[in-house]
Amino acid sequence: MPTFVCLFNWTDQGIKNVRETTKRAEKFKAAIKKAGGTTKGIYWTLGRYDGLFVFEAPDEATATAIMLSGGMLGSVRTETLRAFDAAEMDIILGKMRA
């Protein structure tokens, strides 16, 4: 199953309701599970981003639907990255020419 890393920053609404952030994270985990995926980790961070999620989804379309649904709630802005493990990277490298 493809892995995704989602970086997030709180919106004005999200920071006003920051005390609810762990509850929102649990709802996000439930949405991933309902869509057939798994949550690998949720972290709150210091620095450029307020936090990140690592999750697996059946495919890119499902991951995109999950992220769009979450974004519609208005608490975070996200940047989602497709992540590749070593085995997946070996397959990619094997497809390279010269």
pLDDT at 10: 97
* CATH code of the domain covering residue 15: 3.30.70.920
Query: Residues 33-65: pLDDT tens digits?
Result: 999 999 999 999 999 999 999 999 999 999 999
Q: Is 48 helix (H, G, I), strand (E, B) or coil?
A: coil
State which residues form the domain around 13: 3-94
Phi, psi torsion values for 31, nearest 5 degrees: -65, -40
Tokens 């690592």 belong to residue: 54
Entry pTM: 0.91
Over residues 7-14, mean pLDDT = 97
**Number of domains observed in the structure of the chain:** 1
Q: Which helix (H) or strand (E) holds 30?
A: helix 21-34
- Output the average pLDDT for the chain: 96
pLDDT at 97: 85
Over residues 87-94, mean pLDDT = 96
